Amino acid sequence: MNVKEQIAAYITSQAEPKRSDMQALHQLILQVMPACKLWFLDGKDEKGKIVSNPNIGYGSYIIKYADARPDGKGGRGTTREFYQIGLSANTSGISVYIMGIEDKKYLAQAYGEKLCYDIDYQFNPIEKIVELYQQKIELYERMLREKMSLFIS
């Protein structure tokens, strides 16, 4: 399977409503970053042992490790290519990873309170669920667009 097929299979394998949420986020990220590099990490190490949840990645970002020299040369593993934005399903929801913003506290301070709520699908009427879901997706869109402007500037 190629990366697009792996991503589609991974999203399809999720139970509802997580599947629809992941599909909406996937489409949103592709709208914000239409020509981005796509990644799929299956969560297994080189021996096939599961070490993390699978991840969908978007874009390209160079991670600079603490042992990296200013000139980018020397040392082992000083830099590595990775994705800029990642999505991963977990037992309690969906994790969204945004890499490469210098101010590590910025997104949490700007968006944390608005993002850190769960939509209770069992006890909310469908109209409220749709409204909360739409608000969360719109917030992700604003956050992703702002994140891209932080990379460009």
List, for residues 125-136, the tens digit of each pLDDT value: 445 555 555 666
Task: Please say whether the beta carbons of 52 and 35 come within 8 A.
Answer: no
Average pLDDT estimate for 25-42: 91
pLDDT (0 to 100) of residue 84 = 87
Is the predicted pLDDT of residue 8 greater than 90, yes or no? yes
Q: Please give the residue that has the higher pLDDT: either 46 or 98.
A: 46
pLDDT (0 to 100) of residue 92 = 79
Is the predicted pLDDT of residue 11 greater than 50, yes or no? yes
Backbone region of residue 19 per phi and psi (left: phi > 0; alpha: psi in -120 to 50; beta: other values) = alpha
pLDDT (0 to 100) of residue 153 = 38
Q: Please give the residue that has the higher pLDDT: either 129 or 113.
A: 113
- Total count of residues recorded for the chain: 153
pTM of the model: 0.70
Confidence category of residue 54, pLDDT binned at 50, 70, 90: very high
Q: Please give the residue that has the higher pLDDT: either 109 or 42.
A: 42
> 22: burial class by Cβ within 10 Å (0-12, 13-18, 19+)?
buried
Is the predicted pLDDT of residue 91 greater than 80, yes or no? yes
- Beta strands 38-41 and 93-98 are unpaired
Q: How many domains does the chain contain in total?
A: 1
pLDDT (0 to 100) of residue 71 = 60
Residue with tokens 């992703």: 144
Spatial strand order in the sheet of 55-58: 38-41, 55-58, 85-90, 93-98
Average pLDDT estimate for 27-32: 86
> Containing domain of residue 46, as a range?
3-152
How far apart (Å, rounded) are the C-alpha atoms in residues 46 and 28?
31
pLDDT (0 to 100) of residue 133 = 57
